[in-house]
């Protein structure tokens, strides 16, 4: 069923490409400039979006074996991801149940975690194994002092968690069936080649760029080229979106050759042609395919709000279908990833920071999203809807979006 949906989208892209057309939104939309600069709204977004919705915290290949762990801070919450003995993933609050000291830092592999403050020890499953000097501490119920666990699920080779221990929102409901499409990347069997962290502008300013092909031949003229396409058709599953250039052509796997899909039997369309474009996972992930390193690759960009309204932090993961087989392939993968740093940090985020500084002047009341920028329109509408939604509304809101199928309409209040 998911493959048929991919075929349907590809047929649409080919038809629009041959006709020289694109899908357009109904109207030009005005967004208050303060949506990027208001510190109170920024705090609401962190609380009502990033602490209530599923977040993609790691590609599965970052934690490939039982015992692999990753400690990270997510919008001020210390989180510990641990691959369990049975291969499943668990997400814990990275705080010792004694005094709240973080148990782990960075990444590694461990079967237990010992607090560096007083020596309390926890298992990889979050259970409290031992208390230092128990004869002096006093009697406690160790079963009641396990690490606090967040809802966690692994879908399409990506690890998701909700930073609300009492959440009634299902991760599957919130994904709106989008993970069935993402599964065709095959990430569960890929490897992590490299990763790095970049600082950026306001998180929505940064995310706007992932939802916009309009800027490509202008801002990226020196990197991608001024003849690069600037049109995109948008496909939506609730707040999650795919952007793809309306064209009958696609890149052949592992080369710079362009193939004409309209001249091929649909059964012969390669999967990477079906997955071309940019896939975004609301509220903070972008996935785009690349080929440097002799194999299929993808850059997964994981974006979080920073500590102030004008800051964000992005981790870029370069994942590959297989490890490079030679020095030349390894260098090709390094070169591809370095090129993408130039594009994102040197062009997108540098421009976004200048844009944010200008908006902070308060001299502009609204910004515009054109009919050819439907992805940005949908994104901001969902942000606004979710900031206003109560906890009780969230499950029904996403179930209604999933029931509507692939569309960009935002369900009304439950």
Condensed to tens digits (0 to 9), the pLDDT of residues 330-389 reads: 999 999 999 999 999 999 999 999 999 999 999 999 999 999 999 999 999 999 999 999
95, 215: one domain: no
Domain boundary among the residues 114, 140, 168 is at: 168
Domain membership flag for residue 36: yes
**The domain spanning residue 157 has which CATH number?**
2.102.10.10
Domain limits for position 62: 56-168
Do both 64 and 49 map to the same domain?
no
Q: Is residue 414 part of a domain?
A: no
Measure the CA–CA gap between 182 and 100, rounded to whole angstroms: 37
Residues 234 and 333 in one domain: yes
> What average pLDDT does this structure show over 166-184?
96
Say if residue 414's pLDDT is above 50. no
Reference 311, options 267, 360, 244, 268; nearest CA is: 360
From 134, 168, 202, the end of a domain falls on: 168
- Same domain for 355 and 250, yes or no, is yes
Residue 149 CA to residue 217 CA, distance in Å, equals: 46
Residue 287 makes CB contacts below 8 A (sequence gap 6+) with: 182, 185, 278, 279, 280, 281, 298, 299, 300, 301
User: What confidence score (pLDDT) does residue 1 get?
Assistant: 73
Do residues 91 and 45 both lie within one domain? Answer: no
289 touches 296 (CB < 8 A): yes
- Judged against a pLDDT cut of 90, whether residue 67 lies above it is answered with yes
The predicted pLDDT at position 54 comes to: 98
Identify whether 108 is part of a domain.
yes
pLDDT band at 408 (very low <50, low <70, confident <90, very high): low
**Nearest Cα to Cα of residue 312 among 74, 93, 60, 92:** 74
One domain, residues 36 and 62: no
Q: Report the predicted TM-score, pTM, of the whole model to 2 decimal places.
A: 0.96
Number of domains in the chain: 2
Tell me whether residue 376 is in a domain.
yes
Residues 143 and 213 in one domain: no
Confidence grade of residue 10 (pLDDT, cut at 50, 70, 90): very high
Per residue in 245-270, pLDDT (tens digit) is 999 998 776 666 789 999 999 999 99
Give the list of residues 6+ apart from residue 275 with CB closer than 8 angstroms, or none: 6, 184, 185, 289
Q: Tell me what the mean pLDDT of segment 78-85 comes to.
A: 98
pLDDT beyond 90 at 292: no
Whether residue 413 is contained in a domain is answered as: no
pLDDT at 160 over 70: yes
Residue 153 lies in a domain: yes
Is 49 in the same domain as 85? Answer: no
Let me know whether 112 and 247 are in one domain: no
What percent of the chain stands above pLDDT 90?
90
What percent of the chain clears pLDDT 70, i.e. is strictly above it?
Answer: 97
Burial class (CB in 10 A: 0-12, 13-18, 19+), 317: buried
Q: What is the CATH number of the domain that holds 18?
A: 3.90.380.10
pLDDT reported for residue 413: 55
pLDDT class for 405, splitting at 50, 70, 90? confident
Would 375 be classed as within a structural domain? yes
| Residue 173 pLDDT | 96
Do residue 155 and residue 205 come from a single domain? no
Selected residue with higher pLDDT from 414 and 130: 130
Q: Is residue 89 pLDDT above 70, yes or no?
A: yes
Do 155 and 265 fall within a single domain? no
Do 239 and 361 lie in a common domain?
yes
CA distance linking residue 331 with residue 338, whole number of Å: 10
pLDDT value for 291:
86
Q: Quote the tokens at residue 102.
A: 């973080």
Residue 179 covered by a domain: no
Average pLDDT score over the chain = 95
pLDDT at 406: 67
């Amino acid at each position: 069923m998911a493959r048929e949906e991919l075929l349907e989208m590809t047929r649409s892209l080919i038809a629009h490409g041959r006709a020289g057309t694109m899908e357009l939104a109904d109207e030009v939309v005005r967004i208050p400039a303060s949506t990027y600069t208001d510190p109170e709204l920024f705090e609401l977004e962190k609380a009502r979006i990033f602490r209530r919705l599923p977040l993609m915290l790691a590609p599965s290949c970052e934690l490939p074996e039982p015992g692999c762990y990753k400690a990270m801070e997510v919008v001020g919450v210390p989180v510990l991801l641990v691959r369990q003995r049975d291969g499943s993933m668990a997400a814990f609050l990275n705080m010792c149940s004694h005094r709240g000291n973080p148990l782990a830092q960075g990444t590694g592999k461990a079967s237990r975690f010992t607090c560096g403050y007083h020596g309390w020890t926890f298992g990889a499953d979050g259970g409290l194994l031992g208390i230092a000097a128990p004869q002096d501490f006093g009697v406690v119920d160790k079963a009641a002092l396990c690490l606090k666990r967040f809802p966690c699920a692994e879908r399409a080779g990506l690890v998701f968690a909700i930073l609300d221990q009492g959440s009634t929102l299902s991760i599957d409901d919130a994904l709106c069936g989008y993970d069935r499409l993402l599964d065709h990347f095959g990430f569960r069997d890929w490897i992590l080649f490299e990763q790095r962290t970049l600082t950026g502008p306001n998180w929505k300013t940064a995310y706007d760029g992932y939802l916009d092909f309009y800027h490509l031949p202008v801002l990226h003229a020196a990197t991608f080229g001024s003849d690069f396409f600037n049109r995109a058709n948008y496909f939506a599953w609730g707040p999650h979106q795919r952007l793809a250039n309306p064209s009958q052509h696609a890149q052949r796997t592992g080369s710079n050759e362009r193939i004409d899909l309209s001249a091929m039997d649909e059964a012969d369309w390669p999967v990477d042609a079906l997955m071309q474009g940019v896939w975004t996972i609301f509220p903070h992930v972008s996935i785009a395919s690349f080929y440097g390193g002799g194999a299929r690759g993808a850059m997964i960009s994981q974006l979080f709000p920073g500590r102030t309204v004008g800051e964000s932090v992005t981790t870029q993961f370069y994942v590959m279908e297989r490890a490079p087989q030679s020095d030349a392939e390894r260098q090709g993968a390094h070169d591809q990833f370095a090129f993408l740093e130039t594009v994102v940090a040197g062009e997108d985020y540098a421009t976004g920071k200048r844009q944010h500084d200008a908006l902070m002047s308060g001299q502009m009341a609204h910004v515009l999203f054109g009919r050819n920028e439907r992805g940005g329109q949908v994104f901001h509408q969902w942000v606004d809807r979710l900031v206003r939604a109560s906890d009780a509304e969230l499950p029904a809101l996403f179930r209604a979006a999933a029931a509507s199928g692939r569309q960009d309409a935002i369900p009304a209040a439950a």
